[in-house]
Amino acid sequence: MQENKVTCILCPRGCTIEKKEQGGTFEFAGFGCKRGIEWAKVEFTNPKRILTTTVHVKSGEIEFVPVRTNLPIPKEKIFEAISILKGIEVLAPVEIGSVIVKNILDTGADVIATRKVGKKDSSDD
């Protein structure tokens, strides 16, 4: 029998949910609500996360713009997505919500800017 534990992040209670697997069937224990058990099922079978990082900005007031995915992406694709974003440079100006990468790694999630970055004043050179 294989046993795993996760801490639910849906509310401040932080229930410790246990998954017990025996012969291809699963049992869950320790959840305080139905939302917790549904979250745990996803967390154990196909965990996803919102990716947050930065992307280089060319001719911007600042060098990097913070970005995030608009939807959670599979956890196993996080590092591959970061590698892609390391090689991207956007041209200022950048608006909040601007799509930096559409449908990254065919996940259905877009990478969007979370801060406005103005164009560098040419007199600053």
Residue 3 has pLDDT above 70, yes or no: no
Residues 39 and 78 in one domain: no
Residues 59 and 120 in one domain: yes
Please state, in angstroms and rounded to a whole number, the distance separating the CA atoms of residues 102 and 111: 6
Confidence of residue 45 (pLDDT cuts 50, 70, 90): confident
The predicted pLDDT at position 51 comes to: 98
Higher-confidence residue of 28 and 77: namely 77
Residue 38 sits at φ, ψ, to 5 deg, of -65, -40
Which amino acid does the sequence have at 113? A
Task: For residue range 59-108, list pLDDT tens digits in order.
Answer: 999 999 999 999 999 999 999 999 999 999 999 999 999 999 999 999 99
Q: What is the CATH number of the domain that holds 104?
A: 3.10.530.10
Does the pTM of the predicted model rise above 0.75?
yes
Residues counted in the chain: 125
What secondary structure, in 3-state letters, does 23-75 show? CCEEEEECCCCHHHHHHHHHHHHCCEECCEEEEEEECECCCEEEEEECCCEEH
The answer to whether the beta carbons of residues 36 and 17 sit under 8 Å apart is yes
Domain that holds residue 105: 52-124
Residues 84 and 117 in one domain: yes
Please state, in angstroms and rounded to a whole number, the distance separating the CA atoms of residues 113 and 38: 30
The predicted pLDDT at position 124 comes to: 58
Residues 56 and 101 in one domain: yes
